Amino acid sequence: MPKKTVSVPIQQVLAKIRPAWVSRVGQEMARGMEVRAGFEEQLERFFDLLEQSVTTGDTAWMDSILLDWAKSSTETDLEEELYHVSFLINRMIALTIQVARELLPKQQALDLLAALVPIYTYCLGVVARYEMETRVAHISKEMEQVQKQMERVDKSKSAFISVAAHELKTPITLIEGYASMMEDLLRAGKGVSLDSLLAGMTTGIDRLRAIVDDMIDVSMIDNKLLKLNFQPMQIGQMLEALRLEVEEVVKSRKLNLEIREFEGNKQWIYVDHTRIMQAMGNVLNNAIKFTPDGGIITIDGRPLQGFIEVTITDTGIGISHDNQSIVFEKFGQLGRVDLHSSGKTKFKGGGPGLGLPIARGILEAHGGSIWVESPGYDEKSCPGSIFHILIPARTESPDAEMTKLFSALESHTKKEDG
């Protein structure tokens, strides 16, 4: 008679492989990821539940730990193949076979695998479903964000068109008005001077050109087509030129514009002079526009490592925290067409909302930056704003010819100074 093999209860077999299983799985997983605190404890818990499932024949025992693990594996984990819980279960299956082969007689190993395979399969199913759901939720969230972004772009595009149309319409109406007045006067054959009418028309045309130029600049910045013509410049001189440009408005609005002397304002640096002046002009014009009559605007600066920082401080209506980054975005302020009154310098006069995006584009093209600080927006208490402008202090032009010319100019100036 063949010798009868005594079958060993499966619980005993499980107990036999337990220590090796825990340490093998623990070690293997620790190699792939940072050792998570209590990982071995988790493995012990998994093994307990495995035993329960084998004993009762009910795989649902595994649910609680699987869901815990699946939840703790974040969405970022899900993007990295290695950390999937399903990957962990797959490795567990392979290691169980390895341990069983090493520690158990053939029959016991087979019995053990026969008992464990359905449970592992169940585990894989649960985890894969959960991971798939998380992944789908993650993708839906991303799609939702993209959709929101597209809606914002769409909204700002139509807002831009309405503001641009409004902005363009005002000077056109102005020009039309003056033109028809001229026509009437000419028809009546009166020998009146047309000078004031022509001046009015020129104002309208200038405004029109400024708006169209802004639009072209924004599109060049957007398409990275802004070409810089580097030339030596002293910030102090450029600020004086700006002062002359705004002198009349500052006077009419009874503003106090103070341009301070600061270290670095006489340093020759290579920039695109016209563009930097345009950027500074945009910020200064805003300071004028958003500061009530009688307010103070101060321009100051200081040298920093590799840069010169210019600050334009006003005692105006301020900018809310939420808006402090939005104002530099194209179409950022284009919510309300009614606020845009084509006022280039009058208090709170709106514009097409392109001034700050252009300033940022110009500074970034130079390798500089711009940002704003303000305690908040309040038209009554006027907390003011400070615009910080960082201009790289280049002592050499990207263009070698210019450097040669500049060195000659510098030695000439030094001689004169000395």
Enumerate binding residues for ligand ADP (CB under 6 A).
Answer: 282, 286-287, 290, 314, 316-319, 327, 333, 350-357, 385
Closest separation in Å from C-beta 361 to ligand ADP: 11
For ligand ADP, the closer CB: 17 or 334? 334
Q: How far is the CB of 241 from ligand ADP (least distance, A)?
A: 20
- Comparing CB distances to ligand ADP, the nearer of 309 and 314 is 314
Is the CB of 301 or the CB of 353 nearer to ligand ADP?
A: 353
Q: Which is nearer to ligand ADP, 285 or 397 (CB)?
A: 285
Which tokens is 288 given?
Answer: 């004028």
Q: What type of residue is 152?
A: R
Cβ-closest residue to ligand ADP? 351
**Shortest Å, Cβ 231 to ligand ADP:** 25
Closest to ligand ADP by CB, 268 vs 347, is: 347
Minimum Å gap between C-beta 312 and ligand ADP is 8
CA distance 156 to 138: 27
Q: What is the dihedral of CA 75, 79, 80, 81, to 10 degrees?
A: 110
* Of residues 232 and 350, the one with the C-beta less far from ligand ADP: 350
Task: Say how far apart CA 162 and CA 168 lie, in whole Å.
Answer: 10
Q: Helix/strand/coil (H, E, C) string of 260-297?
A: CCCCCCCCEEEECHHHHHHHHHHHHHHHHHCCCCCCEE
Q: Which residue, 52 or 278, has its beta carbon nearer to ligand ADP?
A: 278
| 83: nearest Cα among 69, 91, 72, 73 | 73
Helix, strand, coil proportions of the chain in percent (round to 5)? 65, 10, 25
Concatenating the DSSP letter of every residue in 68-82 gives HHHHHS-HHHHHSGG
- 232 vs 353 by CB, closer to ligand ADP: 353
Rounded CA-CA distance 223/187 in Å is 49
Find the shortest distance in angstroms from Cβ 417 to ligand ADP. 36
The answer to whether the CB of 326 falls within 8 A of the CB of 335 is no
Give the bridge partners for 308, in sequence order.
303, 391
Token pair 């974040």 in the structure block, residue: 74
CA proximity to 290, closest of 333, 337, 236, 240? 333
- Least distance from ligand ADP to the Cβ atom of residue 355, Å: 3
Residue carrying the six token digits 């940022």: 360
Give DSSP secondary structure letters for 225-256.
-PPP--EEEEHHHHHHHHHHHHHHHHHHTT-E
Task: In angstroms, give the least distance from the CB of 255 to ligand ADP.
Answer: 12
**Which C-beta is closer to ligand ADP: that of 52 or that of 345?**
345
CB 325, min distance to ligand ADP, A = 11
Cα 178–chain centre separation: 45
Report yes or no: 125 and 60 within 8 Å, Cβ to Cβ.
Answer: no
Determine the length of the chain: 418
The nearer residue to ligand ADP, 103 or 249, going by C-beta atoms, is 249
Report in angstroms how near the CB of residue 151 gets to ligand ADP at its nearest.
22
In terms of Cβ atoms closer than 10 Å to its own Cβ (0-12, 13-18, 19+), residue 81 is exposed
CB of residue 88 vs ligand ADP: minimum separation in angstroms? 52
Select 269 or 389, whichever has its Cβ closest to ligand ADP: 389
- In whole angstroms, how close is the CB of 247 to ligand ADP at the nearest point? 19
